[in-house]
Structure 1
Amino acid sequence: MAGRLVERKLGDTLSAAMSSPPAEGIRFYWLGQAGFILEMAGRRLVIDPYLSNSLFEKYRDTPRPHVRMMPPPIGPGECGSVDLVLATHAHTDHMDPGTLPAIFAANPAAVFVAPRAVRQQALDRSGLSPDRMALVDAGEVVRPFPGLAITATRAAHETLETDEAGNHRFLGYILEAGGMRIWHSGDCVPFEGLREEIEPRAPGIVLIPVNGRRPDLSDNGVPGNFTLGEAIETARGVGARHLLAHHYGLFDFNTEDPAVIDQAAASSRDLDIRRARTGICYEWRED
């Protein structure tokens, strides 16, 4: 699809921007970590929002107290008119009990898309009844609104994991509207078959974590993600034109140096690499 990705600095707060209904076209905003607000097909979607301090409350007296390095750019109840919330998996910084109930309370018609393998966690963290949930597995396509299609993809948060029924615990999502496809990989590392799964779907924009992985963390229950180099290689491998690098800058024990991302962006000629930043509207404009 011919077009370009442009950045526009918000003139006010993100909550002020969200006070207006979603406009036509495609635009998105970074919430920190793996969280995004996207506007597509005249709808507002929220993916993996972590807008609380619930992890600090949980881990405050441990060697990794999960102190925020950046404040939430918006309050959980300030996301405006939300039609759909998606979670890629059940880790708290992606499926947050300190964030989800407030979003759903402010949007009583919003639907929650989550992996079928983590159904109970999704119910418990969101506080929703089952009729407001759309549970999916890798390979399934949901069409919640006219003009919007969502395809669930496999993700390996260091490993591919399934429940007893074979449903994947970790997912990514390809969001399609107006001929443009955006792939949010979820927390993931390279695995055999990933490129073959994503490349035929031809995402133009990919949202990929770049915090990498460390054995000392993985051995203590903190699985990792793509390194920056792997994220770039994956973006090129699936034929994307634009890579937005995220999942950095929130917890000091599990991040990437922003300067390293910026250096990679400056030196890339065939792939548009950008470091996700708050206070920015990323907008797709057709030529």
Structure 2
Amino acid sequence: MSPSTTITPLPANHPPSYTPAHHINTPPTSFQNPWPSFSQTKASVPKLLKLRLTAPKPVPIPPSSPHLPHLRTPSFPTPPAPGLKATWLGHASFLLETSTHAPHTRGLRILVDPVWSDRVGPYNLLGPVRFTPPPCALAQLPHIDAVLISHDHYDHLDAPTLRQLNARQKGNVRFFCALGVKAEILGLGAGIEEEQVCELDWWDGVKVESAEAGGVRVVCTPAQHRSGRTVWGFDRALWCSWVVQEEGEEEREESGDRAKRLYFAGDTGYCHVDSDTQFSHHEAPYPPCPAFKEIGDLYGPFDLALLPIGCFKPRSLLSGQHSSPEDSIAVHRDVRAKKSIGMHYGVFRGGVSQYYEPVTEPVERWREAAEKEGLRWGEEVGVCDIGETVVV
């Protein structure tokens, strides 16, 4: 079955000083982070091995803690509640649903980085193991119109999940990804056809429309990370964040019902640091990634931002590509988010971070950093249960 949604490219929209400096070769054969905020932190294989071999035993996972996410069974009522909705499904997985407006019976449903596997790694035999289950079975989700993939790492691009989803919907679903990831999706053995996958570069956008659910604008935006599912395939595919913007903004603003905007950061760093010292980014000794202010200037303010807060230690190795909670508070400011929810914690532990990072630390530091910046916990910055729906 062909997808029932239609895709229309949007006019180019990028910062005035933009050049494709993230491309290596023309056309690109691989990609790079083009900012000093990353170039200072490229980790060598010897450094990685030293950190791993000299690491203590994995930090124990406590049986319970107020700083670990709770599970609740998600609810997808018909008709849906008003507003733009984001249901956290664990780690970086979310189900988004845009606002419903007549004559449509629902909003567009978008899955972001869906992962239901118990283990994330090659052949699902190696790699981090899930310590918090999904809030529901994949089969319990409503019909999905589109899937956004931020990059190709196993904890964000999960072959068994995409295979099950595509089979359930008999190919009636669209997939959106950054350059180079399309070939990987088609090679997963998930039965996904080429016409189902739309590949975008940074700052490219498309309009996605459905007769049943209306339209939404989806824009591929920069992130500071890396890619690779094999040791010989580092950085051959691009990584990204995503902007989701409801359609009909001008018409709806006249009626007092402003079209909503959401930002999903994916996996990203903010700035390199050489130690785990906590500091205010107002006095940061290292340059931050400039992409987030550019995103905020072009597409903000955002009604909701979904930002990573976990798997960030050791900082000397991971700071360039994984945000600490303090980093994500700075991202919250840069993208001009009205409300930000923490993610990328409480489900999987990174192969190195499991030896250095207590699983309770992300939420503790997220709240501490928010309050230090004068942000209202639970209103401007917060967390939610796995299975909980945040509505804006």
Sort the TM-score into its range (normalised by shorter chain). 0.7 to 0.9
Match of 2:309 among 198, 206, 210: 210
Partner of 1:169, secondary structure, is: coil
Q: Which residue of 2 aligns with 1:157?
A: 225
Is contact 1:210–1:248 with CA below 8 Å preserved after alignment?
yes
Amino acid at match of 1:82: I
Alpha-carbon separation, structure 2, partners of 1:138 and 1:167: 15
Quick one: which amino acid aligns to residue 114 of structure 1? C
- Greater CA drift, 49-58 or 37-46: 49-58
2:292 maps to a residue whose letter is R
| Deviating more after overlay: 248-257 vs 144-153 | 248-257
Pairing 1:130–2:199 present: no
Q: Which residue of structure 2 aligns with residue 186 of structure 1? A: 266
Aligned counterpart in structure 1 of residue 382 of structure 2, from 269, 274, 284: 274
Contact 1:18/1:78, CA 8 A, preserved across alignment: no
Shift of 1:77: 2.6
TM-score (norm 1): 0.80
Q: Is the 8 A contact 2:263 2:305 kept in 1?
A: yes
Distance in 2 between the 1:59 and 1:81 partners?
Answer: 26
Give 1:194 deviation, angstroms: 1.1
Match of 2:335 in 1: 238
Q: 1:111 to 1:226 in 2, by over 3 A?
A: same
Q: TM-score, normalised by structure 2?
A: 0.60
Once residues 215 and 121 of structure 2 are traced to their aligned partners in structure 1, the CA distance between those partners, rounded to angstroms, is 39
Q: Is 2:156 the counterpart of 1:75?
A: no
> Which residue, out of 328, 338, 346, partners 1:249?
346
1:112 aligned onto 2:170:
no
Aligned to 1:173: 242
Cα displacement string for residues 122-159 of structure 1 (whole angstroms, at most 9, x for unaligned residues): 11234301011111111111111143101110111169
Say if 1:188 and 1:226, in contact at 8 Å, map to a contact too: yes
**In structure 2, distance between residues paired with 1:129 and 1:99:** 16
Tell me the equivalent position of 2:34: none
Partner of 2:117: 52
In 2, distance between residues paired with 1:226 and 1:154?
A: 14
Which residue identity is paired with 2:180? Answer: A
CA distance in 1, matches of 2:320, 2:340: 22
Q: Distance in 2 between matches of 1:243 and 1:154?
A: 18
Counterpart CA distance in 1 for 2:177 and 2:79 is 24
Which SS does the other structure have where 2:153 is aligned? coil
Residue deviations 1:175-197 (CA, integer Å, cap 9, x gap):
01152111101111125321332
Query: What is the CA–CA distance in structure 2 between the aligned matches of 1:19 and 1:114, rounded to whole Å?
Result: 29
Q: Alignment partner of 2:182: what SS? A: helix
C-alpha distance in structure 1 between counterparts of 2:134 and 2:332, whole Å:
27
Identity %: 24
* One-letter amino acid of the structure 2 residue matched with residue 33 of structure 1: H
Q: 1:29 aligns with which of 87, 98, 103?
A: 87
Alignment of 1:93-108 (within 5 A): 93-108=155-170
SS at match of 1:55: coil
Q: Which amino acid aligns with 1:170?
A: W
Which position in structure 2 is the counterpart of 1:260? 365
Unaligned runs of 5+ in 2: 1-70, 100-106, 228-234, 247-257, 271-287
Q: Deviations over 1:13-59 (max 9, x none)?
A: 22xx2474756531111111111001014111100011112427857
Q: Show structure 1 runs of 5+ residues with no match.
A: 1-10, 160-165
Amino acid at match of 1:142: V
Verify the 8 A CA contact 1:33 1:247 in the aligned structure 2. yes
1: CA distance between counterparts of 2:321 and 2:124? 18
2:73 counterpart residue number: 13
Q: Is the 8 A contact 1:53 1:98 kept in 2?
A: no
2:21 aligned residue: none
Decide whether aligned partners of structure 1 residues 215 and 59 sit closer, same or farther in structure 2, where only a CA change above 3 A counts. Answer: farther
The one of 172, 181, 195 equivalent to 2:292 is 195
